[in-house]
Structure 1
């Protein structure tokens, strides 16, 4: 019995000793942290003149470093960057402040969207506070949004040069004015909205875009939930009044993929028919539908190439940006505007297709063309909608037949017989 009591006393003594040692260690660590914090706070802050000098050196290295320095940091070359800064300054969209010139404001923004850099990284690189980086990011984002009408004009009613100058597409697609497709951009949304934004590709915003065959965006609608179908978003874009809605002209049309339907102003490929064939390969088209889908896909792929360029240049579109949803929508729109600006200012840019020629700003929509714009806000009866779609399917059939006759005359000695037609 005495032995048991002694063991309990010894155990209590050991626990007390261990507790004392632990408390001592905690006190010692706390003291060490306080000493370290005191030493850090006592470090003299770098003089403002030295900070300004280091910022200037950093900007100089970006703009005047090796050949790829500016492109890697800002996703565009030095000339277009400086021109954009001048455009912002002269247009009153951005202003030099006592401490932050327009070039630095723009550089911080482009570095973030181009390299998906974190705020704290920009704070270190530019020797700015996180609040300063965030404030100027939002200012530049708003300024670029103001350039949307200047660098993103809706497609004119004329046939694009890329169609007109190609024997594969002309005269068959002579009434085609552009391409329509959707793209999913990763999104960060509040928990209560996750279900609405979750689709086949995760939590995203579904973005509708129209582009011309030169890979230049003419219309972008962002912010739709990732669960929404492409066709539903297109119908919404068509229902909006001018200038907010997608513009379609009487008798003209956009090419779209199988996620949409053939209807007034839009022609999709034949469903259930292959259209990723290579015309130059041994697998030649067997009938008019295969040939139509092949040529349709070859032209429509230009908008997918535009999406690829957009995501390769602006890495923030491949991440889940930690910004409010309205800002995420504005970021997508700003990136498409910058894409168009670079295509105009620097057509030999690394990210653009090598075959892409100089893009001119001519071809603005004239007022008289507005009379030909199709008004999709008018409600049609179900019977009228069916009749309109059948009319456009017949238009597609005629294009396919004309294309097939021309193809057979060149490659099949005029033999128009077909295999695999229903």
Structure 2
């Protein structure tokens, strides 16, 4: 562990998809809010590393057990424990924003409801039910435009061109100095 975290930063990123300083901050934060503690001769850092290795490399637990020299049961226990800790951490760092700044046209459910109604079911090339939906949003991830109802085998560019050119869709075109 120390060799990876104290070595070249790209090695840590390749193995855990996280830079060493971010990895250490994550482990320290999990300790601070008492979501993880060292247990069974395995440090929080090693437990988090095993879990991140599973996630980032799509590795089987047997491979992780061999790489970290721990039993399969111990790897499974830590993976479950770290996953629960990350879920617990998410509740402290993910905050919903005030919805007071939502555009009035989006709040008007009656206007936007037809775009979310399911149209006729369409069969794709593998006989599955499919439907294309074009959605646009601001940089703050708030939807500004939704066009649904195109059959699933329609080309994406065809759906986009239709949404931009047909006036009844009222596509929100950016101004000249915006993109």
Provide the residue aligned with 2:77 in structure 1.
135
Q: 1:158 to 1:65 in 2, by over 3 A?
A: farther
Quote the Cα distance in structure 2 between the aligned partners of 1:114 and 1:95. Answer: 22
Is residue 77 from structure 1 mapped to residue 15 from structure 2 by the alignment?
A: no
Q: Structure 2 matches for 1:157-176, cutoff 5 A?
A: 157-159=99-101
**Of the candidates 55, 61, 65, which is equivalent to residue 113 of structure 1?**
55
Q: Could you report, residue by residue, the CA deviation over 1:288-326 in whole angstroms, capped at 9, with x for unpaired residues?
A: 45661666xxxxxxxxxxxxxxxxxxxxxxxxxxxxxxx
1:69 to partner: Cα distance: 0.9
Q: Per-residue deviation at 1:124? A: 1.0
Of 57, 66, 83, the match for 1:124: 66
Q: Deviations over 1:72-119 (max 9, x none)?
A: 111111111111101111111001124100001111111111111111
> Matches of 1:259 and 1:138 in 2, distance apart?
39
Q: Is the 8 A contact 1:274 1:290 kept in 2?
A: no
Write the deviation string for residues 184-240 of structure 1: whole angstroms up to 9, x where unpaired. xxxxxxxxxxxxxxx669xxxxxxxxx98356xxxxxxxxxxxxxxxxxxxxxxxxx
- Report the Cα distance in structure 1 between the residues aligned to 2:138 and 2:72, rounded to whole angstroms: 39
Confirm or deny that 1:258 pairs with 2:147: yes
The SS at the match of 1:105 is: helix
Contact 2:12 2:20 in 1 (8 A): yes
Partner of 1:292: 171
The within-5 A match list for 1:251-400 is 254-255=143-144, 257-259=146-148, 274-275=159-160, 286=165, 288-289=167-168, 292=171
Offset of residue 65 of structure 1: 2.2
1:153 matched to 2:95? The reply is: yes
2:9 is matched with which residue? 67
Contact 1:123-1:129 within 8 A present in 2 as well = yes
Q: CA deviation at 1:66?
A: 2.0
Select the structure of larger CA radius of gyration.
1
Change (3 A) 1:111 1:254: same
Partner of 1:417: none
Alpha-carbon distance, 1:61 to partner: 2.8
Per-residue CA deviations over 1:271-291 (Å, capped at 9, x if unaligned) read xx84369xxxxxxx6564566
User: What is the TM-score of this pair, normalised by structure 2?
Assistant: 0.63
Give 5+ residue unaligned stretches, structure 2.
108-127, 131-136, 150-157
Structure number with greater CO (CA < 8 Å, separation at least 6) is: 1
Match of residue 213, structure 1, among 133, 139, 152: 139
Match of 2:43 among 101, 106, 112: 101
Unaligned runs of 5+ in 1: 1-58, 161-172, 178-198, 202-210, 216-252, 261-272, 278-284, 296-405, 411-422
C-alpha displacement of 1:71: 1.0
The CA distance in 2 between the partners of 1:93 and 1:85, in whole Å, is: 10
Paired residues, what number? 142
